[in-house]
Amino acid sequence: MQSSIQALADEVAGVLARIKVLTDQSGQFEKLSAYESFSDIDWASVALDIDALEEERRILTEGSDVLKALRARQQDAAAESRDLRSKLEAATNEEAKLSERRDELQRRRAAAEEDTSNVSDEQLAQARPTLDPLRAEILGQQKLTIESCNSRESDVRKALQDRIDTRQASLRALGERLVRTMRDYGNRYQEETRDVDASVDAADEYRRMLTSLCEEGLPRFEARFKALLNENAIREVAGFQSKLREEERTIRDRIETNNASLRDIDYHDGTYISVEPTSNPDAEIREFQQDLRKCTENTLTGSEDNAYAEAKFLEVKRVIERFRGRDTLTELDQRWTRKVTDVRNWFEFSASERWRSDHSEREHYSDSGGKSGGQKEKLAYTILAASLAYQFGLDKGAERSRAFHFVMIDEAFGRGSDEAAEFGLTLFQKMGLQLLIATPLQKIHVIEPHVAAVGFVHNEDGKHSLLRNMTIEEYREEKRGRVASAKHASSG
């Protein structure tokens, strides 16, 4: 039964498909019925006719020279027409730009004529000799056009304003210097300037005073000025120079005295140390010494003319002004004065180790670079002892002197070698110095032979320190007792 139903359904479907095909064909036939003949839909015949006509036209065109010439002329005419239209458009745009520029230039010309309407030809003629060089200097080779007038005017205006500002600043500074000079002059000569202000407006009054001095009073004082310059100023400078040279000789004499003591102390086996002073090559110090010589040289046999007196005055004045402190350079001049007038700065010092046998040099020490720790210590102690001897002014017999030359040394021998410490103590003893040495207990065996008394400081709880003083004999006695007690305890 089921298979019969399926067969009928398939048959129905086939019938329906056949009906659809027949329906589509019926529709196509109805569309074709609208054409009365086959020629209405015969497109192939029309296409063949078109191709034949095109071929005929081509043959006619290619075979006619006149038609070719006409077509070429047509193409040239079209190209020329396009070119003329382009030129016309460009000319029209250029005309518009020129018209706009003309209007703008006319406006600028009217504005310029209005700006110069108040300037007469005579004034312009007077200003031109000044303005033309300025314009050439500021603008140089720049071409001046109507369009660039405003920019060039701004350039000239800015350049002139900068010059005006610079000139005004210079005038202000000059006015301030002038007022300061007037004030200084007024402070020195109060009676003469009692009724005159220290201001730029009072310049004429000061000029009259200068004229009066030059014409009336100054010639009377010129001879007196030269006499005072030679008798007082230069003499004082010469005395000052002599005092500095005396200090220089004193330093050299003291160093020689110290060297005499150092020669009695062995630095190494068969050698001793000599401190050698040399002139400091510092430029400021050398220049100062030269300036002092210039102030005093030829003062006894110098010329009597005014130029010589003026030259000497300026040399002395230059040195005195630096001592006093120049304007805006006071601090710098004070530092310079301290440096060049401290004669100790005139020297550089080095140490020369020499053989005692023939005094020839074994080694020269300008610093401690490259030396071992012990060598550095010994050299440092040597220079320290020489410096102390210089400060105290000791002589070779200082160890027998009753003078008190006290030196306190705090842990100076704590980290050094025993040999260097022994050398330093012997050196200080030879120099005749009285020592107070603060040192840890580990160095007491080195210091013991050189001290007369000891003081032990004890701080048990970290808050209160106790000091016990004893002579070196008492210390040695107690030390022997402690050693004996320790041996007895160990043997028991």
| pTM beyond cutoff 0.85 | no
Count of the separate structural domains present in the chain: 3
Could you report the per-residue pLDDT of 456-491, keeping only the tens digit for each? 888 877 778 888 888 888 888 888 888 777 777 766
- Is 233 in the same domain as 361? yes
- Is 187 in the same domain as 243? no
What does the pLDDT read at residue 374?
A: 60
- Is 302 in the same domain as 350? yes
What does the pLDDT read at residue 301?
A: 47
User: Domain for residue 92, yes or no?
Assistant: no
- Is 322 in the same domain as 243? yes
- Is 256 in the same domain as 354? yes
To the nearest whole number, what is the mean pLDDT of the chain?
78
Angle (nearest 5°) at CA 89 between 84 and 92: 120
Task: Note whether 198 and 179 are within 8 A (CB).
Answer: yes
Q: What are phi and psi of 274, to 5 degrees?
A: -125, 125
Could you report the per-residue pLDDT of 307-360, keeping only the tens digit for each? 456 677 777 778 888 888 887 888 888 999 899 889 888 988 888 889 988 889
User: Domain for residue 264, yes or no?
Assistant: yes
Kindly tell me if the per-residue pLDDT of 51 is higher than 80.
yes
User: Domain for residue 322, yes or no?
Assistant: yes
Domain that holds residue 11: 1-30
- Is 248 in the same domain as 343? yes
| Domain closes at, from 309, 343, 366 | 366
Average pLDDT over residues 146-151: 70
- Other beta carbons within 10 angstroms of residue 254's beta carbon come to 19
User: Domain for residue 82, yes or no?
Assistant: no
Q: Hey, what amino acid is at 423?
A: F
Confidence class for position 492, pLDDT limits 50, 70, 90: low
- Is 277 in the same domain as 357? yes
- Is 245 in the same domain as 181? no
- Is 333 in the same domain as 235? yes
Q: Hey, what amino acid is at 418?
A: D
Could you report the per-residue pLDDT of 283-310, keeping only the tens digit for each? 998 988 888 888 777 654 445 555 456 6
More confident residue, 56 or 176: 176
- Is 239 in the same domain as 179? no
User: Domain for residue 271, yes or no?
Assistant: yes
Angle (nearest 5°) at CA 449 between 447 and 452: 90
- Is 165 in the same domain as 289? no
| Domain closes at, from 333, 366, 399 | 366
What does the pLDDT read at residue 228?
A: 58
Q: Say what percent of the chain tops pLDDT 90.
A: 2
- Is 155 in the same domain as 277? no
Of 279-283, 289-293, 395-399, which gets the smallest average pLDDT?
A: 395-399
User: Domain for residue 209, yes or no?
Assistant: no
User: Domain for residue 302, yes or no?
Assistant: yes
| Domain closes at, from 329, 349, 366 | 366
User: Domain for residue 90, yes or no?
Assistant: no
